[in-house]
């Protein structure tokens, strides 16, 4: 084929293809150039807790590790049986820590070259307990202290099923985001279109302030105030702006 004829044919094909390509690019343009408003908002919902979680245990010291372990095990055995006797199920009892450590005279010296004399051993056994009957929580703690628990820490209140609160907080977040979007659009002289996307960033019940203390028998039920637990939800929403 002559070179001039081949060149002319190539140009003709390019011209024929150009309109189809241009139409395809134009069809995608409105989506790419779409104007939107993006708003983030959060919602909260609170309710009464129905469960307490506490970590309790026994710390024993003796001249020998065997004696310390024996005393600790005896006390923890009584405590565990008492908790079960209070109606706490085995699934709500979980060992959260156990250790046997030497006790040194004068504590731990800063100079590592100094010979450290062992004067005894310390055994610590900790149990994480879920108390589902809040009304009995104070009496339960008092009982375990009388049975030998000398360390109680990490007391918190929560809900076994927080999904109703999560749903309420989620709705509140969406309503707040919609109100903010309408306010922004009105201030800018715009009109909101349909929702383009909605995402949830996070949700959860924040842990209340924890309590850590060595327990001493008070001769009566430990006073407690459960208060409320709060669930928060954050959402991101995007609206299209009507042209």
**Average pLDDT score, the chain:** 81
pLDDT of 121 reads 96
Would you say residue 24 has pLDDT above 80?
no
The DSSP annotation for the chain comes to --HHHHHHHHHHHHHHHHHHHHHHHHHHHHHHT--EEEEEEEEEEEE---EEEEEEEEEEEESSHHHHHHHHHHHHHHHHHHHHHTT--GGGEEEEEEEEEEEETTS--S-TTSPPPEEEEEEEEEEEEEES-GGGHHHHHHHHHHTT--EEEEEEEE-S--HHHHHHHHHHHHHHHHHHHHHHHHHTT-EEEEEEEEEEEEEE-PPPPPEEE-----SSPPP-----EEEEEEEEEEEEEE-
Residue-wise pLDDT tens digits, 166-191: 999 999 999 999 999 999 999 999 99
Residue-wise pLDDT tens digits, 115-173: 778 999 999 999 999 999 988 899 999 999 999 999 999 888 999 898 999 999 999 99
Q: Which domains are assigned to the chain?
A: 34-48+161-209+228-243 (3.30.110.170), 51-158 (3.30.70.2970)
């Amino acid at each position: 084929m002559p070179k001039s004829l081949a060149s002319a044919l190539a140009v003709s094909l390019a011209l024929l293809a150009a309109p189809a390509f241009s139409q395809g690019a134009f069809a995608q343009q409105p989506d790419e150039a779409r104007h939107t408003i993006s708003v983030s908002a959060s919602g909260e919902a609170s309710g009464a807790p129905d469960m307490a979680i506490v970590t309790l245990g026994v710390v024993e010291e003796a001249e020998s590790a065997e004696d310390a372990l024996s005393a600790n095990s005896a006390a923890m055995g009584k405590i565990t049986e008492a908790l079960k006797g209070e109606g706490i199920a085995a699934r709500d009892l979980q060992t959260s820590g156990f250790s046997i450590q030497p006790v040194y005279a004068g504590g731990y010296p800063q100079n590592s070259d100094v010979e450290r004399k062992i004067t005894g051993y310390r055994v610590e056994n900790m149990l994480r307990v879920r108390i589902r009957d809040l009304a009995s929580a104070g009496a339960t703690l008092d009982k375990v202290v009388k049975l030998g628990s000398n360390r109680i820490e990490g007391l918190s209140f929560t809900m076994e099923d927080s999904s109703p609160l999560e749903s309420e907080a989620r709705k509140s977040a969406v309503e707040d985001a919609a109100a903010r979007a309408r306010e922004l659009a009105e201030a800018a002289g715009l009109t909101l279109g349909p929702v383009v996307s909605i995402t949830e960033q996070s949700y959860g019940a924040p842990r209340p302030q924890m309590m850590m203390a060595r327990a001493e028998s008070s001769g009566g039920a430990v006073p407690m105030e459960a208060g409320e637990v709060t669930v928060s939800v954050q959402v991101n929403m995007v609206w299209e702006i009507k042209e």
